[in-house]
Amino acid sequence: MQAWGVFGMKSFEVSIDEIYVPAGKRKAISPERVEALAADILEKGQVTPVQVRLGKERYVLIEGGHRIEALKALGEDIVIARLVQARKH
């Protein structure tokens, strides 16, 4: 895990396995939305980075659960992310 000195300014690639998705965010996933996003990502690539914060030994997802699930459905293991400052949930 690589930490950036400037929060929110730089997008980077990270393994999906390095991102912890809190239970509340996992429950809110819509299969229909995942399918639609997967089709869009297949056509255009990942346009919007997911937002993560630093956890103890991994990143914690703040925003972008549907994008992560869509990328998984496409067989991808890397996601474009943006590191943000956020309080713990």
User: Quick one: which H or E segment has residue 69?
Assistant: helix 65-73
Cα–Cα distance measured from residue 78 to residue 72, given in angstroms and rounded to the nearest whole number: 9
- pLDDT tens digits along 8-58: 568 999 999 999 999 888 888 999 999 999 999 999 999 999 999 998 889
Structural domains of the chain, ranges and CATH numbers in brackets: 11-83 (3.90.1530.10)
Model confidence at 83, pLDDT cuts 50, 70, 90, reads very high
Model confidence at 87, pLDDT cuts 50, 70, 90, reads low
Residue 89, pLDDT score: 52
Cα–Cα distance measured from residue 33 to residue 20, given in angstroms and rounded to the nearest whole number: 20
User: Quick one: which H or E segment has residue 63?
Assistant: strand 59-63
